[in-house]
């Protein structure tokens, strides 16, 4: 990428206009009640309290020294009509597109998807702006582990019945996410996705498995909680 292209690259911020205006403050109560923002806040609260995907990711981030706080790390904003959410690495905030998220199930998936990016940001110190492979890897992981490519979601999109369909869904959604936020050719994006796909597709942290549905996510969350409980017991048995 030459210097001119770097200067023109906006890293997807055009999709989140309120980011460019510096609107990180919460609005007044009068502005938020009975609006998209109020509905977004309510659905967000429900997601972080009830979704096993979100609860596991929040627990894992806290264990990694990156505790997430609702008022600090989430922001409900109006966005371009083509996106549902994003992770802003410069402010460590998850943007939820209040004008595009209208159902709780959609909110749950977006929160999970963006929390995976936040987890990667915490765990792997991703270089979002300079390392294309880092970006591709996190997009692959988010598509794979968030439920974006679950059987039910794919059926609702009339996409099913193909061999290795889950892998192709993950690859396709990761590719679309990259093209939305980077000024690169499809060929270049495909090449980078292919280079890191196997490694990143098989990285299931912190779930320990691909949570194909809510039941899988609940099992993963139970195992995560039990793992933390078993450590003190093991130390006690060993007399430490």
224 is a domain residue:
no
Nearest to 142 by CA among 94, 188, 77, 104: 94
**In this structure, what DSSP letter does residue 74 have?**
E
103 is a domain residue:
yes
pLDDT at 164: 75
pLDDT at 2: 42
Question: Would you say residue 170 has pLDDT above 70?
Answer: yes
pLDDT at 151: 60
CB 41, CB 76: distance < 8 Å: yes
Which range has the worst mean pLDDT, 74-78, 159-163, 188-192? 159-163
Going through the chain in order, the beta strands assigned E by DSSP cover 74-77, 85-88, 93-97
The whole-chain average pLDDT of the chain stands at: 85
Residues designated as active site: 114
231 is a domain residue:
no
Residue 218 structure tokens: 């609940």
Nearest to 145 by CA among 192, 95, 105, 200: 200
226 is a domain residue:
no
What φ, ψ does residue 75 adopt, rounded to 5°?
A: -140, 120
Does the predicted TM-score (pTM) go above 0.95?
no
Structural domain harbouring 105: 13-19+36-215
Q: How far is the first Cα of the chain from the last one, in angstroms, to the nearest whole number? A: 55
pLDDT at 158: 47
Nearest to 114 by CA among 151, 77, 165: 77
7 is a domain residue:
no
Structural domain total, the chain: 1
30 is a domain residue:
no
The residue-averaged pLDDT of 22-29 equals 48
236 is a domain residue:
no
Could you give the CA distance from residue 63 to residue 206 in angstroms, rounded to a whole number? 11
223 is a domain residue:
no
Nearest to 20 by CA among 67, 107, 90, 82: 90
Question: Would you say residue 210 has pLDDT above 90?
Answer: yes
């Amino acid at each position: 990428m030459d210097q001119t292209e770097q200067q023109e690259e906006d890293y997807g911020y055009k999709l989140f206009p309120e980011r460019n205006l510096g609107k990180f403050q919460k609005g007044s109560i009068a502005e938020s009640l009975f609006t998209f923002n109020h509905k977004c806040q309510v659905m967000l609260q429900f997601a972080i309290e009830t979704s096993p995907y979100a609860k596991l990711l929040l627990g894992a981030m806290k264990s990694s020294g990156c505790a997430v706080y609702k008022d600090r790390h989430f922001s409900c904003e109006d966005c371009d009509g083509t996106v549902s959410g994003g992770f802003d690495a410069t402010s460590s905030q998850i943007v939820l597109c209040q004008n595009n998220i209208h159902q709780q199930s959609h909110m749950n998936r977006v929160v999970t998807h963006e929390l995976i990016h936040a987890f990667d940001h915490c765990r792997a110190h991703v270089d979002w702006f300079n390392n294309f492979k880092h970006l591709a890897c996190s997009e692959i992981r988010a598509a794979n582990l968030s439920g974006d490519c679950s059987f039910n979601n794919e059926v609702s999109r009339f996409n099913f019945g193909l061999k290795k369909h889950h892998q192709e869904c993950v690859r396709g959604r990761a590719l679309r996410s990259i093209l939305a936020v980077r000024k690169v050719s499809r060929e270049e994006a495909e090449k980078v996705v292919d280079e890191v796909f196997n490694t990143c597709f098989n990285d299931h942290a912190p779930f320990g498995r691909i949570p194909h549905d809510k039941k899988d996510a609940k099992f993963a969350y139970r195992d995560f909680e039990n793992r933390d409980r078993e450590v003190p017991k093991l130390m006690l048995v060993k007399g430490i």
